[in-house]
Structure formats: C-alpha cells, structure tokens
Amino acid sequence: MSDFDDETRLLPIGEPSGGRQSFTGHVHPGWNIGANPNGGYLMALAVAGLRQAAPGHPDPLSVTVHYLRPGLAGQPCRVDVQVLRTGRALSTARATLSQEGGPRLEVLAALGVLSTESEPTLALPAPAMPPPEHCVPRSADEQGVALPILDRLDIRLHPDEARAGSTGMAQVTGWIRFHDGRAPDAVASVLFADAFPPAVFGLLGVVGWVPTVELTVHLRRKPAPGWMLGRFETHDLIDGRLVEDGTLWDADGHLVAQSRQLALLRQGARKS
Amino acid sequence: MSDFDDETRLLPIGEPSGGRQSFTGHVHPGWNIGANPNGGYLMALAVAGLRQAAPGHPDPLSVTVHYLRPGLAGQPCRVDVQVLRTGRALSTARATLSQEGGPRLEVLAALGVLSTESEPTLALPAPAMPPPEHCVPRSADEQGVALPILDRLDIRLHPDEARAGSTGMAQVTGWIRFHDGRAPDAVASVLFADAFPPAVFGLLGVVGWVPTVELTVHLRRKPAPGWMLGRFETHDLIDGRLVEDGTLWDADGHLVAQSRQLALLRQGARKS
C-alpha cells in the first residue's frame, strides 16, 4: 500500500440510501502546506468517496471543488456523497468533506471511464523541458512556509523558473511523482493539479498567500507510469483575484489533465 | 423590463431557513436551441436564485453547472438554493434547478462583488475582429436545428469562421448582444458563455450534437454597455469528449469572463 492510497482510504458509514452514502476517513498531516492540509489532497479524499458511490464509473472526468474553510491536519473527516444522476457513460455526484461537524470543502463531479490507449484528435503538446535530474527540487521551505508534502511528492521545477520572481512570467513548469514509487492515476492527477507553487510567484516573487477559491480539474486520459509534467500559467489577475490554468502530461507525453482555478492574491505575510 | 430579466425572474417560496431558500420560475421557449432550452439560459435561471440567496454578493465570480437532463421549454421550474458559507468577500452556494419533480441541472458557485473600474495586472488581450456590421449573423437554422434563441440574442460571427468546417481550426469568434438593447452584466456573461456554436464545428464541419456535461464560467469584471466579443477554442478532443475554452471581452476591450466546458461529441444526427 502506498502512502497516498493509505492516507485517502475511506470507510463507509452504514448502507447507501437514495443515492446518499457517507464515509469516514483521516486527514493525514503528511500532505500539509505549512499547518494546513494541501487542497488537492483534501479533494482526493472527497474523490475517493465519489468513486465508491459511483460503481462502474471509477474515473473522475470533471471535478470542481470550492474550499469553504481550511482542513484540520491529523483529525478525522467525514465525506457525505449524493449521486445526482447515473447514466450509461457518466455519473454525476456531489460530496461534502466535513471536520468537527462543519463543511470544509464542497465538490461537484462527473465520473466515467478513462482510456489508456486512445489517440487524441486534438491535444495540447507538452513543452520542451530538461530531464528531472537537471531540474531543481521544490524548496521544502518556500516563502517561509514549511512544506511537509514534499516528503510525499517529488517535485522538480524548471531551472529557469525555480526562483520566485526570476522569469517575469506567471508560469511554473515541473516534473512530479510520488516519492514512494506509486504509479500515477486519475485521482493522483487531481492531487498533482494542486501541488505546484502558484504560477504568479514567477511574476511577482514573494507575494504571500494564494488561497484557492475554486478548482476544476478535467481528467482526459489515464497516465502512463513514471514522472508527470505540469505547466501552470496565469494570464488574468484583477482585483486580487487570479485565474490559473494548468496542464499535466504523462511520461509518454500524452495530455492527461487540464485544470483551472480561481484564487485570491493575499499580499503580505502568509497566515499558515 | 428586458426579455432576459423578465424570463429569468424567480419568486421566493416561503422564507429562507438554515441557509436554504427555494424559488419558482418559468422556462421560456424563447431561449431554445431546437426543442431544448439553451444551457446558458437555464444556468442564468439558477444564478438568479443564487443572487437572491446571497445578499451583499450580487455577482457570480465562479459558476459551475452540471447538466443532468434536458430542460423542458414552456414549463415551470423550481430552484432550490443552499448557502454553504457566507464570508466578508465571498458567498458559496449550490443550486438545483428542477422541473416535473426531477433535477435538471446542479450548480455550485462563489459570489461576490465585481468592479467596473479596476485595471488588471494581467489580462488576455482581445483578438483583432472586423466590426459587427462586417460579420455574419449566426444562422437561425444550423445543421438542421432551428435556433429560436436568435430572436433574443444578436450573434455575429467572424466572416472567415461562419461556415462550419471552413477554417480547419476548432475556433469560433463573434460579437454578441441582446436584441432588445438590454445592457450586458455578469449574469448575461454567463448566458453569453454558452450561446455560440461549438468551436469544434470550425474544424470538423457538421458533426451532430455537442451536449455540455459541465461548464464553469469565471466572471472577472462588469462589462461596459454595448457589444461583447467572444472567442471559443478546443485544443483537446479524445474519446468523444472535448474541452472548450472561452473568453469574453466587453465593448471597451476589457476581459470580462473566462469559461471552460467539458462536452460530448455525438457524431451523426442531432436529437433535438
């Protein structure tokens, strides 16, 4: 069992009824950014509940999360799933992850079956990138915030982009994999879509905190084993709110996922 | 009163309780694509309920809709809203639009306050575009499907892109406004993000039906009065599922909204 599988395991509470099913789990501190659980990890916990409640449709195809309150590391959690529709090709469901009786995140998703073999009609090509051994590990202490999650995830940034404010562009590109050798899959892709430094760091340097309001990940294909490559860009920043687009490719260069998030730009010291 | 305001009006049912509030409305056939209500119009109906349930936060900032079943034109609808969190800057809420007792669409959204005056730090520039009078009205009978919605919306496509399959690119660009002169606003931008022909028509020509699974619209700024300009592109099509990105600018060239949808590509005759 990998850390990720072990630490996203949910146990059902009672029997499903009327499309509703509830689960209990534990928010492990190993995925923290500072004192808070990483948002992609919490999203993966909610997706674990969605997958169990949608038999025959194991793969998230479109997952939207809204973050309501920070998660509590080292505490139990509850995931309440309601299946809204089950069709031949797709199931649609929502999930609420709660801790200490209050909702922490709300998820709305479509699930189905992803292929590994199909050739795309259209796909975004992977950017040129030095191999992982020529890239720079993401710093475990970034802008004064400790990143325990880097004991779980091996993240190597493009050498030209690894220093905040170094490029003048709101762009970050890097390799990512699990440290323990677990192969990537669709649920891991959801986590990987929220595991890189904010792209806006490349433009603005040290900026404080960039909390995500909403993140949508579209899963497009099951990844091949090995490293995945991610690129994240912001082209739209106004009134302290930014849109960040992400793309993930697998080790064979196939497009695996696209993501987009709305985040807040909090200038000044990060509260963590 | 404009058609759009008149035909998205909701009346509350009872008093709000525990963050829950319900509304009744009517799905007007004037916004149909073939026999089905346009998805953007149904989304605007749900957003009308969200706005009433989130006082002080009138503008949708991020709206995600999943389409569960086609809407029923000419029939009443019910919108059930649950506010999940109310903060200083943002409210988060979900809404279910139902007809004949069954859910038709599920919406998850963040609402707040958009500015009209702020200058962006980063923004996507508007593409070069001939003026509306040199563009081609969207055909009221497209791929054999009647488009009653074109009596409500004036849509003018780029002359090089107006014929399906003419460009070899999955891209459509056009002007849009209400026929009755109503000024655009954030809710209209939600509608406009789902009112253009699918971008994939430009690449593949007549392709049948492109039903939306999920659509997320990010509202970035209140639009100025006048025409709005939209560009929609698909760079990702595999296994009969595509991702379409959209961008909307106002008459002053300001970025107003970004959208992204997951849609199915149904080859062959459209069921309408």
pLDDT digits (tens, 9 = 90+) for B106-139: 999 999 999 888 899 999 999 999 999 999 999 8
Nearest CA in chain A to B116: A239
**Token pair of A234 as six digits:** 């912001």
B16-33 residue pLDDT tens: 999 999 999 999 999 999
The answer to whether residue B270 scores a pLDDT higher than 70 is no
Decide: A263 and A203 in contact? Cβ < 8 Å: no
Name every chain A residue with its beta carbon within 8 A of the beta carbon of B243.
218, 220, 258
The proportion of chain B whose per-residue pLDDT surpasses 70, expressed as a percent, equals 97
Compare all CA atoms of chain B with the CA of A67 and give the residue at the minimum distance: B92
Q: Is the CB of residue A221 less than 8 Å away from at least one CB of chain B?
A: yes
Sorting pLDDT into bands at 50, 70 and 90, what band is A179?
A: very high
Predicted local confidence at residue B272, as pLDDT? 36
- Cβ count within 10 A of residue B269: 11
Best probe of the A interface among B244, B262, B266, by most A CBs < 10 A, is: B262
pLDDT of residue A106: 98
Question: In this complex, which of B85, B110, B236 lies closest to A124 when CB atoms are compared?
Answer: B236
Chain A residues closer than 8 Å to B121 by CB: 237-238
Specify the range with the lowest mean pLDDT, choosing from A20-24, A137-141, B140-144, B155-159: B140-144
CB–CB contact B84 A69 (8 Å): no
Instruction: Determine the Cα–Cα distance for residues A172 and A174; give it in Å rounded to an integer.
Output: 7
Higher pLDDT, A141 or B133: B133
- pLDDT for residue A206 is more than 70: no
pLDDT at A47: 98
Select the more confidently predicted residue: A5 or A269. Answer: A5
In the predicted model, is pLDDT for residue A61 greater than 80?
yes
Give how far B122 is from chain A: nearest CA, Å. 5
- C-beta neighbour count of A253 within 10 angstroms: 12
Res A165 pLDDT > 90: no
| Residues A73-99: tens digit of each pLDDT | 999 999 999 999 999 999 999 999 999
Beta strand A141-142 with A136-137 is unpaired
What are the tens digits of pLDDT across the range A97-131? 999 999 999 999 999 999 888 899 999 999 999 99
pLDDT at B56: 94
pLDDT at B168 over 60: yes
In order of A27, B193, B229, the CA distances from B3 in angstroms are 49, 18, 21
CB proximity under 8 Å: A 114-153 to B:
114-115, 118-124
> Which of A89, A216, A243 faces B64 most closely, judged by CB atoms?
A216
Q: Which residues of A touch B236 (CB under 8 A)?
A: 120, 122-124, 218, 220, 255, 258
* ipTM of the complex model: 0.96
Q: Give the span between the Cα atoms of A179 and A202, in whole angstroms.
A: 25
Residues within 8 A of B (CB atoms), A 56-75 only: 61-62, 64, 66, 68-69
* Helix spans in chain B (H): 3-6, 39-53, 186-192, 200-204
Q: What is the 3-class SS of A207-225, one letter each residue?
A: CCECCEEEEEEEECCCCCC
Decide if pLDDT at B246 tops 50. Answer: yes
Which of 156-215 (A) contact B at CB < 8 A? 170, 203, 213-214
Q: What is each CA distance from B82 to A77, A238, B148, B219, in whole angstroms?
A: 22, 28, 32, 21
> Scanning the structure block, which residue is given the tokens 């340097």?
A205
Q: Does B222 touch chain A (CB under 8 A)?
A: no
Question: Does the beta-carbon distance from A236 to B124 stay under 8 Å?
Answer: yes
Q: How far apart are CA A108 and CA A47, in angstroms?
A: 10
Residue A271 has pLDDT above 60, yes or no: no
Query: How many angstroms separate the CA of residue A121 from the nearest CA in chain B?
Result: 5
Q: Which residues of A touch B103 (CB under 8 A)?
A: 84-85
Question: With left for phi above 0 and alpha for psi between -120 and 50, is residue B83 left, alpha or beta?
Answer: beta
Q: What pLDDT band is residue A167 in, cutting at 50, 70 and 90?
A: confident
A198 pLDDT above the threshold of 80: yes
What is the Cα–Cα distance from B223 to B226, expressed in whole angstroms? 9
Q: What is the overall mean pLDDT for chain A?
A: 94
Residue B128 neighbours by CB distance under 10 Å: 7
DSSP A184: P
Residue B91 with chain A: CB contacts under 8 Å: none
Task: Select from B95, B113, B87, B1 the least CA-distant residue to B44.
Answer: B95
Task: Give pTM, 2 decimals.
Answer: 0.96
Average pLDDT over residues A141-157: 91
- Per-position b or e across A85-106, b if 16+ CB within 10 A of its CB: bbeeebbbbbbbbbbeeebbbb
Confidence of residue B181 (pLDDT cuts 50, 70, 90): very high
Backbone torsion region of residue A167, taken as left when φ is above 0, otherwise alpha when ψ lies between -120 and 50, otherwise beta: alpha
